[in-house]
Amino acid sequence: MSKPLQALALVFLAAVPMTVHAGPAQDLSKLCDDYWQGSLRASPVLATSIGDDRYGDQLADITPAGAEREEARLRSVLSRARAIDVKALSAADQLTRSALIEELEDELAASSCHMEQWVVDPLGGPQVEFMNIPDYTAFDTAVQGERYVKRCRRMGRYFEDHIANLRLGLKDSRAASRSAVEKTIDQLDHMIAGSADSLALMIPARTPRPKWSAEQRQRFARDLRAAVADSVVPALVRYRDFLKQDVLPVARTPEKAGMAALPGGVECYRKMIRVHTSLEMTPEALHQLGLEQVAKFRQDLAALGSKVLGTSDVSAIENKLRTDPAMQFANAQNRPSGRLECRGLVAVAAWLSRVIVGTVVFHDEVQIGHDDVRLDRAPVGHRYARVVVIHRQAGGLQFELQSGLAFGHTDYRAVGAADPDSPRSHLGSPDVAEPAAPPDEGFAARPDIEGCQRII
């Protein structure tokens, strides 16, 4: 179970009425709420993504002092959870207590690795995460717009704190892999090359706000552009230059890209196995499992290649998929375009929501063939699902598949960076990772985009 899903499952369990209404059960219920509210305060962007806009003008405190405060909070909650008399709890409450303790132990274990001091992330770093924020920020009122502008102004300081953390890692001979650094520099080069208006952060300024007055819309657009131009863009430049000048020269080469090459890396790797799998596995056992799964995949690929391509040689199959013109669009104009009705694309989210809170109906409009992909979400009651597609950034399109549910938020992130100018870049191509969708009756189908039907 993913960490976001595990944490939200914990909140869901805590929301179920306790079988005992006083004493240890009541203490546990309050403790779960204290934990969750503290987590939202510590992760303001997470709060925004699940519809809680109390912290819409804030970003996480990633300074060493901020990390120490968060660790102290987690240790305090963990101590209180362990002190609750498990024998006085019902079976359901015992499960909730165990889930809370495991979540806290995992967060503390991950925090102890101090990955913020060396990780440079081309998929989930701040240069990507911040560009996602407009897609799940509510702009119902001008006040929410003002909060968003304040958050954008804080992004410059956030990048400075990120750079400071990476400097601490460099002093301890910890640096990111060369591949990650080069990809991130390339992203930043593309972002910096355009104007401030080209960044996804500016999209809200171009979106109609019929509920706002003309003065509010004008002020929002003006203030947002100033925040992005004066805070974000210079920060992107500083971050790019820091990576080029300070990190890239000492970045880990491919043969040392693994965590084991870092000081304390092996012990951290062991901790992260437990965090991500909940299993007590050794690195060697996990590696062997990976080898076995790769071997099985290659066997399946060989069998499929023999049936479809007339060869079972995996190298030949891979070469054919990469180079055969028949496996590609001839040019960008041949990519799918027009309006589509898409349902199967969010089948995983639909399946989850049916299991947990009942049926959810989707009617999503996706525009394909332009620099961006837009989605109109039709809510059903207080439950909805959505596909978030980040606009052209860092030389590509970045996709997120998400579902939002009444009790919380589950993120099925299938982020695929695809060059929009490449003839192979389209929804449904091998370049874009997409989770397998459970079958769902009533979903229309298209060969290249499952669950979508051309309506124009």
> Is residue 358 domain-shared with residue 449, that is, in the same domain?
yes
Question: Tokens in use for 102?
Answer: 């495991």
Q: Which pLDDT value is given to residue 331?
A: 63
> Is residue 294 domain-shared with residue 262, that is, in the same domain?
no
Distance in angstroms (rounded) separating the CA atoms of residues 134 and 220? 14
| Burial class (CB within 10 angstroms; exposed 0-12, middle 13-18, buried 19+) of 16 | exposed
CB atoms within 10 A of CB 149: 24
Domain coverage including residue 142? 126-266
Within 155-228, strands assigned E span: none
- Residue 283 and residue 266 in contact, taking contact as beta carbons nearer than 8 Å: yes
**Boundary of a domain, candidates 88, 112, 136:** 112
Q: Which pLDDT value is given to residue 326?
A: 80
> Is residue 22 domain-shared with residue 90, that is, in the same domain?
yes
Distance in angstroms (rounded) separating the CA atoms of residues 51 and 203? 19
The verdict on residue 120 lying in a domain is: no
The verdict on residue 365 lying in a domain is: yes
> Is residue 309 domain-shared with residue 345, that is, in the same domain?
no
Residue 216's H or E segment, with its range, is helix 214-227
- Using alpha carbons, list the distances in angstroms from residue 346 to 51, 84, 341, 451: 19, 40, 12, 8
Residue with tokens 């998400």: 402
Would you call 417 helix, strand, or coil by DSSP? coil
Q: Which pLDDT value is given to residue 281?
A: 92
277-292 burial, b for 16+ CB within 10 Å, e for fewer?
A: eeeeeeeeebeeeeee
The verdict on residue 274 lying in a domain is: no
> Is residue 71 domain-shared with residue 146, that is, in the same domain?
no
Q: How many domains does the chain have?
A: 4
Question: Tokens in use for 166?
Answer: 């990476």
Distance in angstroms (rounded) separating the CA atoms of residues 259 and 189? 27
Q: Which pLDDT value is given to residue 22?
A: 60
Q: Which pLDDT value is given to residue 413?
A: 28
CA geometry: angle 73, 78, 79, nearest 5 deg: 100
Torsion of CA 291, 296, 299, 301, to 10 degrees: -100
Distance in angstroms (rounded) separating the CA atoms of residues 309 and 70? 54
The verdict on residue 241 lying in a domain is: yes
> Is residue 173 domain-shared with residue 99, that is, in the same domain?
no
> Is residue 411 domain-shared with residue 350, that is, in the same domain?
yes
The verdict on residue 418 lying in a domain is: yes
The verdict on residue 277 lying in a domain is: no
> Is residue 43 domain-shared with residue 60, that is, in the same domain?
yes
**Boundary of a domain, candidates 112, 146, 179:** 112
Q: Which pLDDT value is given to residue 321?
A: 86
> Is residue 442 domain-shared with residue 322, that is, in the same domain?
no
> Is residue 209 domain-shared with residue 295, that is, in the same domain?
no
> Is residue 16 domain-shared with residue 61, that is, in the same domain?
yes
Average pLDDT along the chain, 456 residues, taken 10 residues at a time: 50 48 86 96 96 96 98 98 96 95 96 97 95 94 97 98 98 96 96 94 94 97 98 98 98 93 94 92 92 94 92 92 79 51 40 34 32 31 31 32 30 30 28 35 32 40
Question: Tokens in use for 272?
Answer: 């992260």
Q: Report the chain's terminal Cα–Cα distance, integer Å.
A: 39
Residue with tokens 């004493």: 23
**Boundary of a domain, candidates 292, 307, 327:** 327
The verdict on residue 224 lying in a domain is: yes
Q: What is the DSSP string of 81-134?
A: HHHS-GGGS-HHHHHHHHHHHHHHHHHHHHHHTTGGGT---TTTSHHHHHHHGG
The verdict on residue 272 lying in a domain is: no
Q: What is the CB-side half-sphere exposure of residue 376 using CA atoms within 13 A?
A: 8
The closest alpha carbon to 57, from 133, 148, 168, belongs to 148
Residue 365's H or E segment, with its range, is strand 364-368
Q: Which pLDDT value is given to residue 8?
A: 54
> Is residue 322 domain-shared with residue 360, that is, in the same domain?
no
Q: Which pLDDT value is given to residue 256?
A: 94
